[in-house]
Amino acid sequence: MATVARMAGFIRHLRLNGFPLGPRETETGLTVLETVGAIDPGTARLALRTTLCGRREEWDRFDTLFEAYWHARGRERARVSDRHASVAGSPAVETLWDHVLSADDRAGRAAPEVRSASEDGDDAAGQGHQSLVATAQENLASTDLRRLVDPREIAAAEALALRLARSMRFHLSRRRRPDARGDRLDLRRIIRRSLAHGGEPLDLVRRRRPHRPVRLVLLLDVSGSMKLYSRFFLQFAKGLVGAWAEAEAFVFHTRLVKVSDAMRERDPIRAMDRLSLMAQGFGGGTRIGASLRAFNERHAASTLNSRSVVIILSDGYDTDEPETVVAELARLRKRARRIVWLNPLISWRGYEPVARAMAAAMPLIDVFAPASTLNELAAVEGRLAKL
């Protein structure tokens, strides 16, 4: 059990440092250790690196993370995000939001240096295999995003939002559904059904990967009332659009703007230039109804199909009449499979959807969920899997 716990912790350590791993990789890692033996650390490390790394970047970083976890050797990590990194005496690299936010909002932003736990002397407490990377990210992931004021925390949270979104795509792409002709057995359901036969696995249940993935359409509210959350939602959307097979993203305030191409741009300089051209109106008023109408009239026909899930990230405050929101959501439901509304205010104490637009929209929404922390954003994966 100790080996299982340590391997699960190692997979979690890698996942928090950007590796898209899950339960299956934990099982595979245990099998590798059992096969090669854990007595020779060099052989075990090479076998695990070969098994758990799927990209060149992960291969290059694996040894450092392995040493930090298994041997508590605190090596300096790469900065949380290369886009936020700065060299001593050199100007910081701009981010997408530097063209959108005011100078006061982005003043002093710099990426945090992330070091392992042993560098701060925590090994003596028996936590040498943990790193400050994981601890800091856990705290950030569970903190209300509006409470982040330190520039380093803000930069780290943005980077974490990006990684969470990218890892969601990996897990969802491997999710399987029950199918009589599936290529794999569903052991959990087989065991559950065997209880009716005295534990004999008489009913075999199979699973397969769905042939057609869900198409995601994200509508992000970047109005003034969402200012404290919008930057993180934008990074989250960028991760989804950049990694998802079929995804489109739009931002809205008093008007609707399509930003999918800018988010797919891999060159950060070009991405900033493209987004800066669209930034007019960010942080201003909100017209949800008019924005939904613009989407239905200009983009819905080419963007939505029967597999589409529309995700709206907004607090629901609108200057349009609520009847407009209701009418446009009704039109949206005719084309999309599901409508998911993520509202960062849900987690606030005593919150009720009493804003006129939000109250009117409730009967037309399939999922109404919180989104004030990165953990709540990550929970979207499980909600999508159930749709």
The model's pLDDT over 372-384, given as tens digits with 9 standing for 90+, comes to 888 888 888 777 7
Cα–Cα dist 374/376, whole Å: 5
Whether the Cβ atoms of residue 367 and residue 383 lie closer than 8 Å to each other? yes
Mean pLDDT, rounded, of the chain: 75
Confidence of residue 102 (pLDDT cuts 50, 70, 90): very low
Confidence of residue 387 (pLDDT cuts 50, 70, 90): low
3-state secondary structure of 309: strand
Give mean pLDDT, residues 291-302.
Answer: 94
Cα–Cα dist 14/209, whole Å: 25
CATH superfamily of 215-385: von Willebrand factor, type A domain (3.40.50.410)
Looking at residue 386, its pLDDT comes to: 65
- pLDDT tens digit sequence for 60-98: 888 888 888 777 654 433 333 343 333 333 344 344 444
Looking at residue 312, its pLDDT comes to: 94
Beta bridge partners of 282: none
Q: Which residues contact 289 (CB under 8 A, 6 or more apart)?
A: 318, 320, 321, 322, 323, 324, 325, 327, 328, 357
User: What's the CA angle centered on 139, arms 106 and 87, to 5 degrees?
Assistant: 40
- pLDDT tens digit sequence for 173-214: 556 777 777 778 888 888 888 888 888 888 888 887 766 667
Q: Is the pLDDT of residue 138 over 50?
A: yes
Q: Is the pLDDT of residue 282 over 90?
A: no
- Burial of residue 37, with CB atoms counted within 10 A of its CB: 0-12 exposed, 13-18 middle, 19 or more buried: exposed
More confident residue, 362 or 179: 362
Strand duo 308-313 + 206-208: pairing: unpaired
- pLDDT tens digit sequence for 117-137: 334 444 444 444 444 455 566
Instruction: Kindly report, as residue ranges, where domains of CATH 3.40.50.410 are found in the chain.
Output: 215-385
Looking at residue 75, its pLDDT comes to: 42
Looking at residue 243, its pLDDT comes to: 75
Task: Determine the angle formed by the axes of helices 132-141 and 2-16, rounding to 10 degrees.
Answer: 70
Looking at residue 334, its pLDDT comes to: 92
Looking at residue 374, its pLDDT comes to: 85
Q: What tokens were used for 226?
A: 């969402």
User: Model pTM greater than 0.75?
Assistant: no
Q: Which of 39-48, 155-164, 299-308, 352-361 has the highest mean pLDDT?
A: 299-308
Cα–Cα dist 339/304, whole Å: 12
